[in-house]
Structure 1
Amino acid sequence: MDRQANQDRQSSMAGEGERAEDFTFRAIAAGLLIGCLLAFTNLYLGLQTGWISLMSLQSALLGFAIFKVLPRSLSLAGRRFYFMTTPFTPEENVLVQTTAGAVGIMPLSAGLVGVIPALTMLNMDKDGSPPIVLGWLELLGWCFALAYFGVFFASPLREPMIIREKLAFPSGTATAQLISVLHKVPLFQGRVSTGSNGGELNRGGERSAEGHRDQETSPLLQEDDSDENVMKGSSGWKALLWSFLSSATFTILSYYIPVLYAMPIFDFLSPSHDLAATWGWWFTPSLNYVGQGIIMGLPTTISMTAGAFVGWAILSPIAHYYGWAPGHPMDSESGSKGWILWVSLAIMCSESIVGLIALVASNGLSDLKRWLSRRSDPTTAQYGPISTESPSDLDASVEDMNGLTLERARLIKETVEVEHEPPHRLTPLSWVTWGLVSSTILAIALIWAAFGTNGIHPWATLVGIVLASVFAILGVRALGETDLNPVSGIGKISQLIFAILQPGNVVANLIAGGISEAGAMQAGDLMQDYKTGHLIGASPRSQFKGQLIGSTLGILISCFAYKLYTETYEIPGPQFPAPTAAVWLNLARLVNRGHLPSKADVFMLAFGLLFALTGTLRTLARSKALKVGGHGGRNRPLSAAEKIVTLLPSGIAFAVGMLNTPNFSLARLVGGVIAHTYSKRRAAVARDRGGAPLGGIFIIVVASGFVLGEGAASIAGLLLKQSGAEPLTCWGCRGGCAGGCP
């Protein structure tokens, strides 16, 4: 970036109190529009595979694209209507992606892909409760109950974690880097995470419906001169349009010719075993899954495919042929599909919970040591904390520290607390206090109204929200350190606690887990947005308001979309198995009823111990890598131990691959290979010619078009299904087909 431009921008901080508010109607409108598309897409993906896209990068791209192609004015009936009287600013783009993310994440944070479908799967004999199907008003009440308190948790955490500790929040940093490239403005260098608290890291934005963001570093968003060229002309927008249309066209075409969605190509390898219909081995060449694989990266897609292979090529046949799961292999109750779900559950619980404990223990010890060293260091006691108004004042304060070594002075300077924003751009504490109190009361009342005496007691709802606030702090801390928000483990810990508080109540157990997951998820996602805004210079107050507005519309859109899907399709069913719902329900049954299928406990223990170990090693390695990143850690050679850790599979991705039939993972693996090949090509060309032929943004644009295209076409699929449209032919369909084929 241009150093002079950055210096000019830093110097403008002196007059920051007079800066115009970046909360604009056009930014909110664009964010809500993009968020609606994301909400439909994420509900579709979550119910289908349990893996969704948060799409912060994609929201920023689309926001930039809307205002790039939107005319400044339009003449109608002799009158001129102005759409844009001023240029679209990077601060507004931050508001766009914050608002869009708040709308788009609601299907996950409100439990519409997990807890709510799980309630419809209840069985009177097994759970002591009949299936609970919420009506339109009850579903709205549930979503309103979960939509806000996590937002109020997050706001007070901005200062200690972003301002003081300068935690990395890698996905938020990556989004800020993208916005800086699109708008050709530098980041505020004084705000970039450095030192022991982490360096910049470029990453994607995938998340399992079990709550984990893609954990692997993405090489695709590495800035070079060609990044600007991709978006300056029409090549980037043409790529987005064509990838969107290609994905949407394939989705509609597969509705009328379902075999395109589920190609039984593996039956040719072993015709006698009927691999597609019996064992779930078919291939779906969905461009949506390919796009997701590109964003995830090769390591995550390999982990997912490995899980699919172990689950469906090894464990499923073993459980079936040894009589542990005697039903049809594709039966979720008596077949091996339901049997391997328990193994998947053990992997998720062990990696997420043990990894979270390891990270909190590690950070807690390091924080304690740092606090004790500051207490015992006379120079820190004498000169810190230093209260300053600007970086220049900070330099002067450090220069006045006579008798200190340069290294010590630099250390004090790096740990000084500096709030860059004036008070009128910050979220008032009164907003947070009243919002937290009112959202808590609202949640208790609405959840009681939705479930009554058969659900969770009001006092238990309050306990759940208190637990959610504590867990949100742990989750945000983990997110800032590792780019991993362990809401899966947080939800499961709540389920374990409520098995003691309300024993035998499966409904209360599910609700309590959903409350904790929602709080931690919304807090973590808003903190990522705060990090983006901090680096770009956006108003935290504007982001806070955008988050609340987006969450409100997200409730309405998500409830509407969920009711459309449940009225049109069987959920869970062949096309939308809702795998995450089965995980929630099985854990609730386990901690309240204690029943396991034959021999499942042995495999759960073995796989649980294995991935507890690998998850701990991976979590600690990511935390260490981020801590040394600010000192050039990304470029240093890896040690032998670190190389081994990078080869360990992601437990969550492995478990999700096991939960779903292999077709969902195979297409993502194709995307991961494409991303890896593209990255290697860019690196080779950069070495040979001094620059890449296409910037890293280009492939993100294409992948975004693939994902959003199928999400948009899924709305058309809903309408076709409701209108009774039939497929043209069911030739070749052997199971798992889309459209109207049985």
Structure 2
Amino acid sequence: MGVVELEDPKYGKSVRPSSTLVKSEEEDIEGINMNSDVSEKEYSIEELFASTEVPAWWKQITFRGILASVLLGVLFSIITLKLSLTTGVIPSLNISAGLLAFFLIKSYTRILSKFNIPHLQFTRQENTVIQTCVVACYGLAFSGGFGSYLTGLDSKTYHLVNDKGGSGHDSTSDVKNPHLGWIIAFMFSVGFLGLLAVVPLRKVMIIDYKLTYPSGTATAVLINSFHTPRGYKQAVKQVLCMGKYLFFSFFFSMFKWFFSGMNDGCGFDMFPTFGLKAYSNTFYFDFSMTYVGAGMICPHLINISLLLGGILSYGLMWPLIEKKAGDWYPLDARGSNLRGLYGYKVFVAIAIILGDGLYNFVKISSLTLWSLCKSRNKQVSVKSEDGSEAASIDDQRRTSIFMKDRIPLKVAATCYVLLAVVSTIVIPHLFPPVKWYYIFISYIFAPILGFCNAYGCGLTDWSLASTYGKLGLFIFSAWAGSHGGVLVGLVSCGVMMVIVACSADLMQDFKTGYLTLSSPRSMFASQVIGTFMGCIIAPLTFWLFWNAFDIGDPDGEYKAPYAVIYREMAVIGVQGFGALPKHCLQLCYGFFILAVVINILREPLVAKHAGYGRWASYIPVPMAMAVPFYIGAYFTIDMFVGTVIVFIWQKLNLKKSKLLVPAVASGLICGDGIWTLISAILALAKRQAPICMTFLPSKIVDSLNLPSY
């Protein structure tokens, strides 16, 4: 994740309090003295804002901020859903949300200033509130399971798993086709419980244990830098750069659409970059600005792991196994038949995901317990690690603000119980096979698992929401058995996944609020507002995709790859491994063990004792390698192009790349996301692209006797 570093901002005169009205944008930094002879270490972050009044918590939530959150919530939900329904790889978009929030409000205040219209000053607290709302909104687009467990309930996924030779034959009672009404009801039933599950523990997490929450800290550093004089100049550069690449991405995506014709084989998306043979094995560059931008945000190792997974699967394994047709699996088991090559793709990917998830679950749970035991006997100091006075001043002021607006424990506990009771009543009505006691037991353990996930995320920046969801999936599908067990497992997975994901997101945002002096009440209120928005925006956005595109087609653009994977996991939970292709189970065992071994080799302590400590960080990530095993290698090429661009840029100009990489990536992703919305509307209106550009072998072209022009 790219972070704008605070570069020696100095101040002289005081900045006008944030509660006053300003008439000119230039007055925001009036009287600032940028003395170059003063070093950054002489001033703490909060000393830079010492003369700026911290607004009351209710003033940090503004009407313009909510409007901006709605606009950005729609945009980021579209981006998240597009990634969920195509690859399942979703980079952290927190920094992009903070940057775009700054861009929207600053543009708004600048317009008002030009017309001499009084307006409230834009503060870092308001910036934080907007970013929190947006993250809570698009977070539900991910944890809501629109690309995984929720889509796995539909009849199309059911037929993919069963009608063409699935591993286990679940019942039609396990099918629940998407409908806007019940999806919104389900989101409202489970969306708010994660916020209440761990909110009483905010002091323990942030103040007592001083958990890092790297993403939350990075976002706070970005927002703090935006609202200092030097940071404001940097933010202007970032905004201009982001705007330029947003327009480039938008118009390039529109240009590609004109050549996409009336079927999936047309357009630049199918350009055989490395030849037709490589193209048939999904190795090609499809000119997707979303994937290139995602590759620029994701760490180099993740992108390289994705590419290695694509090479290992579609470059080596699947071509070799394809030659075994008639021996390992029937010759007629083509396409999405799970008794053929498709079965190997699905179950090997599941094995790697489970191996990686199980290892990290055990690791982070153990780390959490060990850290809790250690912290119990350790006196927490208000000073930073280096003991500097400046850091102590920062901590004292932040702690004072953070503890000022308390959220009463009784209120949080009462609301949790009431919402849990409502949810326990509503969900069985939405899904009859789901008994009330399944949900009741889930809500008993949810606060414990939410705490574990929030604590582990604070230590490692790794949310294991999907792992906890899979744990619930296996437990409840096995418990329910053949009487609706697949549906029960998928719904239970969703309940658990939403709660634990929201718990980690809330603590990340509390950390951001702590570092930007945003009130805990305003942060919690913004999370509630963002979640409310997400319960409506995410289903509406999904419904747009569902009606405009062919969701779940294994040969289409929107494959919804995890839908089949999650449903097959539920089937395994109910019936165990059924009739798999020959040697498939042995391959699954091998890759499960391989995922665990790779994770062990990546551990610094193990690597140090084995003598390859400096190389441990270069060992690939199994979870990332698993994704292309099922989807294909095409998107890994795009993301690798993104990581190569960043690598070269860092070599040429490290300082400039740190500043502008997040802006360029955000522009590429958001521009393509805006065009996705427009293309969905065109698809609903039955408007097809006028030209089909396709690529064929020259021998076939000669036999067609096409006219020359």
| Superposed pair shares fold, TM > 0.5 | yes
Q: Compared with structure 1, are the counterparts of its residues 129 and 169 closer, same or farther at alpha carbon in structure 2 (3 Å cutoff)?
A: same
**Aligned residue for 1:723?**
685
Counterpart selection for 1:86 from 113, 116, 120: 120
**Aligned residue for 1:613?**
597
Does the 8 A contact of 2:86 with 2:559 survive in 1? yes
1:427 Cα deviation from its structure 2 partner: 2.3
Does the 8 A contact of 1:290 with 1:671 survive in 2? yes
Q: Compared with structure 1, are the counterparts of its residues 86 and 15 closer, same or farther at alpha carbon in structure 2 (3 Å cutoff)?
A: closer
Does the 8 A contact of 2:150 with 2:494 survive in 1? no
Q: Tell me, in whole angstroms, the C-alpha distance in 2 between the residues paired with 1:617 and 1:134.
A: 42
**Aligned residue for 1:110?**
144
**Aligned residue for 1:265?**
273
Q: Compared with structure 1, are the counterparts of its residues 23 and 568 closer, same or farther at alpha carbon in structure 2 (3 Å cutoff)?
A: closer
Number of equivalent positions: 629
Does the 8 A contact of 2:353 with 2:623 survive in 1? yes
Does the 8 A contact of 1:54 with 1:104 survive in 2? no
Q: Tell me, in whole angstroms, the C-alpha distance in 2 between the residues paired with 1:44 and 1:428.
A: 39
1:342-363, CA deviations, whole angstroms, 9 ceiling, x for partnerless residues? 1111111111122221222234
1:90-137, CA deviations, whole angstroms, 9 ceiling, x for partnerless residues? 111110110011111111121111111100122577111253213221
**Aligned residue runs from structure 1 range 194-593, under 5 A:** 229-232=233-236, 235-258=237-260, 259-268=267-276, 270=277, 275-277=278-280, 279-323=281-325, 324-325=328-329, 326=331, 330-331=335-336, 333-371=338-376, 373=377, 419-421=399-401, 425-452=405-432, 455-504=433-482, 505-573=485-553, 574-593=556-575
Q: Tell me, in whole angstroms, the C-alpha distance in 1 between the residues paired with 2:542 and 2:60.
A: 33
Give structure 1 stretches of 5+ with no counterpart. 186-224, 375-383, 396-405, 626-636, 684-691, 736-742
Does the 8 A contact of 1:54 with 1:105 survive in 2? no
**Aligned residue for 1:647?**
618
Structure 1 window deviating more from structure 2 (22-31 vs 517-526): it is 22-31
1:3 Cα deviation from its structure 2 partner: 4.8
1:312-334, CA deviations, whole angstroms, 9 ceiling, x for partnerless residues? 12221233222335457653534
Counterpart selection for 1:136 from 180, 193, 196: 180
Instruction: Please give the TM-score of this superposition, normalised by the length of structure 2.
Output: 0.82
1:241-282, CA deviations, whole angstroms, 9 ceiling, x for partnerless residues? 2211221222222222122112123334x4xxxx435x3333
Root-mean-square deviation (Å): 3.4
Does the 8 A contact of 1:180 with 1:536 survive in 2? yes
Structure 1 window deviating more from structure 2 (241-250 vs 17-26): it is 17-26
Q: Tell me, in whole angstroms, the C-alpha distance in 2 between the residues paired with 1:75 and 1:24.
A: 18
Structure 2: which amino acid aligns with 1:664?
F
1:307 Cα deviation from its structure 2 partner: 0.9
Q: Tell me, in whole angstroms, the C-alpha distance in 1 between the residues paired with 2:239 and 2:380.
A: 49
Does the 8 A contact of 1:309 with 1:662 survive in 2? yes
Q: Tell me whether 1:67 sits opposite 2:72 in the alignment.
A: no
Q: Tell me, in whole angstroms, the C-alpha distance in 1 between the residues paired with 2:137 and 2:58.
A: 26
1:577-617, CA deviations, whole angstroms, 9 ceiling, x for partnerless residues? 00111221111111212213321211111111111122245
Does the 8 A contact of 2:489 with 2:570 survive in 1? yes
1:33 Cα deviation from its structure 2 partner: 1.9
Structure 1 window deviating more from structure 2 (477-486 vs 724-733): it is 724-733
Structure 2: which amino acid aligns with 1:725?
R
| SS, match of residue 120 in structure 2 | coil
Does the 8 A contact of 1:93 with 1:179 survive in 2? yes
Q: Tell me whether 1:672 sits opposite 2:680 in the alignment.
A: no
Q: Compared with structure 1, are the counterparts of its residues 543 and 7 closer, same or farther at alpha carbon in structure 2 (3 Å cutoff)?
A: closer
**Aligned residue for 1:602?**
586
Structure 1 window deviating more from structure 2 (135-144 vs 465-474): it is 465-474
Q: Tell me, in whole angstroms, the C-alpha distance in 1 between the residues paired with 2:50 and 2:692.
A: 65
Does the 8 A contact of 1:164 with 1:416 survive in 2? no
- How many percent identity over aligned positions? 23
Q: Compared with structure 1, are the counterparts of its residues 703 and 414 closer, same or farther at alpha carbon in structure 2 (3 Å cutoff)?
A: closer
Q: Tell me, in whole angstroms, the C-alpha distance in 1 between the residues paired with 2:52 and 2:126.
A: 21
Does the 8 A contact of 1:290 with 1:668 survive in 2? yes
Q: Compared with structure 1, are the counterparts of its residues 231 and 118 closer, same or farther at alpha carbon in structure 2 (3 Å cutoff)?
A: same
Counterpart selection for 1:24 from 62, 71, 81: 62
**Aligned residue for 2:668?**
706
Q: Tell me, in whole angstroms, the C-alpha distance in 2 between the residues paired with 1:17 and 1:726.
A: 52
Does the 8 A contact of 1:276 with 1:734 survive in 2? no
Does the 8 A contact of 1:244 with 1:706 survive in 2? yes
Q: Tell me, in whole angstroms, the C-alpha distance in 2 between the residues paired with 1:664 and 1:287.
A: 11
1:397-426, CA deviations, whole angstroms, 9 ceiling, x for partnerless residues? xxxxxxxxx99xxxx999999943365523
Structure 2: which amino acid aligns with 1:52?
I
Does the 8 A contact of 1:250 with 1:286 survive in 2? no
**Aligned residue for 2:5?**
none
Q: Tell me, in whole angstroms, the C-alpha distance in 1 between the residues paired with 2:402 and 2:503.
A: 23
1:168 Cα deviation from its structure 2 partner: 1.0
Q: Compared with structure 1, are the counterparts of its residues 502 and 68 closer, same or farther at alpha carbon in structure 2 (3 Å cutoff)?
A: same
| SS, match of residue 59 in structure 1 | helix
Does the 8 A contact of 1:385 with 1:416 survive in 2? no
Structure 2: which amino acid aligns with 1:503?
G
Q: Compared with structure 1, are the counterparts of its residues 251 and 467 closer, same or farther at alpha carbon in structure 2 (3 Å cutoff)?
A: farther
**Aligned residue for 2:26?**
none
**Aligned residue for 2:194?**
150
Q: Compared with structure 1, are the counterparts of its residues 255 and 335 closer, same or farther at alpha carbon in structure 2 (3 Å cutoff)?
A: farther
